[in-house]
Each structure stands twice: as structure tokens, then as C-alpha cells.
Amino acid sequence: MTTISERPSKPVLLTGASGALGTMLAQALSAQGWQLRLTDRLAFLAALPDGAAFTLADLEDEAAIRSLAEGCGTILHFGGVSMEEPFDAVLGPNIRGVYHVYEAARQVGARVVFASSHHVAGFYERGVTVTADSPMRPDGYYALSKTYGEMMARLYWDKHGVESVLVRIGVSRPQPTEDRMLTTWLSHPDLVRLVERSVLAEAVGCIPIWGVSNNRRMTWWQGDAREVIGWQPQDSADPHASAIEGLTSGDPVAERYQGAGFCRKYYTRDLPAGR
């Protein structure tokens, strides 16, 4: 974790603060002495951490997001729909919302740490190695919105010089609970350290990083830019193997692809697509 001397010199805006990961990050970063502005369209149900202020706001309210970002050095964008949903449900918060975040970042001169997802590559088959430069194969509308967000980040870097760290999060929970997570799990402490380094690194440009812990079985996702921020995962799913190995969904579509159940939802093909 960071020390007080390493904390950001400017406030940090965290969207999606009322979600599971947002609440966890708010508590962990405030404990490091960070000055946080928290926002979500839902109430913050946990005790408000010291040094944090919460504002109820919708990502679709461009003026509200711009106002919250004023004076901030970084926007941690963890807000929006976080599961596979119909397109109309994703459109507002995840498409217009990410535009509002990047416009705010441009106007106030902030860096963005974008909570992307491994689901941008969800329709690669398991075992296929995907690098940061591999073509995206999103596994649903949620993943499509994360693909859009990554392209928005690239546009705002090329056109406006807005820096971004694109964190392609695997599955971040307190501990892995099924076989697939022996590959994809990202511990909460590893995520906190990743966010810390993404904010505190001197210069980042626009870089993707696979958000996954040091899991022996993770051979799918390779070739990111973690050395730019100086992050290496310290935790591993491996000690949980004896308890969860072999616990699968049993669904042939979900077990075929890296995106698992996100691939299965709304799936209508008779035969799977080839590689």
C-alpha cells in the first residue's frame, strides 16, 4: 500500500462508489489518506470514510460529472452497468456516461483510470492467448460498452492528451469461488495496489493492463503495460485450488469461451463460431 507521503496531491473522483468494488476502493484509499470525491446514482450505504465526500449523481448528467471533477487530478471510473444487460440499459450509463467522464477529464486536466473488463475479449476460446494488441471480441452489450470506453480513451489521448490506464478486470471478489477463477481472479488488495500505482505513476499515456492476480493457470492474457506503472500482483488463486477445482457451470457455451456466462446470455447460435 502507499504511504501518506505518496498520496495524490489533488482530490480523486471515484464514480460507481456505491458498488461492491467502489465501496471497497473508497475504504482502502481513504485509509491511505487520499482525499476522495465519491459519486453514484445510488446511495452510499457504508459508513462514509474519513476524508471522503459523497454526492448523488447520474453519469448521464454531464454538468454534474464536470462539476465533481473540478480540481481533481484523477477520475477512477468504476461507474455504470456492470453486468450483461439489454442494449438500452447499457446505452446511457456506459456509453454516454463514459463520454461525460472523458469530457470532464479533458476540461479539468485529469487522468482516467477506467474499469474496463476482460469481457472485451470474452469470445476468445479458453486457452487462446490474448495480448493487449489482439483484436477485441466482446461477449455482449456490457463488453461492447467497455470496448467503446477503451476506444474513447485512445481518442482522448491521441486528440487531447488525456492519460488513461485501462484496467481489464478479471473477476475481483474477496476470494475465488469456482474453477474458472483459478485463472481470472483478482484479489481486492491487488486491485487496490493497481489503482494506487495507476494514479501515482509519473506518466502513463494510454495503456491497457490485465487486472488479474498472480495465478499459475493464467496463460490467456499476456502482454500488457504494467511495468509502466510499476505494478505486479502479489496474491494468487492457487491456494484455493483444492476447494474449487472442477466447480464449473456445466454449460458448453460458458465453458468454451473466456467470457463464460456473459457469452451464454442471449446466445442464439446453433453452432459456435470458429476461432
Listed by start position, the domains of the chain span 4-264
Mean pLDDT of 141-154: 98
Confidence label for 150 from pLDDT (cuts 50, 70 and 90): very high
Mean pLDDT of 174-196: 98
- Residue 223 zone, left/alpha/beta (φ > 0; ψ -120 to 50; rest): left
Task: Tell me whether residue 266 is one of the annotated catalytic residues.
Answer: no
Confidence label for 273 from pLDDT (cuts 50, 70 and 90): confident
Confidence label for 275 from pLDDT (cuts 50, 70 and 90): low
Q: Is the pLDDT of residue 274 over 80?
A: no
The number of beta carbons lying within 10 Å of the beta carbon of residue 151 is: 12
- When the pLDDT of each residue in the chain is averaged and rounded to a whole number, the result is 97
Percentage of the chain lying above the pLDDT 90 cut: 96
The number of beta carbons lying within 10 Å of the beta carbon of residue 67 is: 13
Q: Is the pLDDT of residue 5 over 80?
A: no
Q: Is the pLDDT of residue 3 over 60?
A: no
Residue holding cell 483484436?
Answer: 135
How, if at all, do strands 111-117 and 36-40 pair?
A: unpaired
List pLDDT tens digits, range 17-47: 999 999 999 999 999 999 999 999 999 999 9
Mean pLDDT of 38-59: 97
- Residue 111's nearest CA partner among 32, 209, 203, 218 is 203
Superfamily per CATH, domain 4-264: NAD(P)-binding Rossmann-like Domain (3.40.50.720)
Task: Give Rg (Cα) of the chain.
Answer: 18
pLDDT of residue 73: 98
- Residue 116's nearest CA partner among 165, 157, 155, 62 is 165
Residues near 171 by beta carbon (within 8 Å), at least 6 away in sequence: 180, 181, 184, 185, 186
| Catalytic position from the list 124, 142, 156, 257 | 142
Q: How far is the C-alpha of 109 from the C-alpha of 201, rounded, in Å?
A: 16
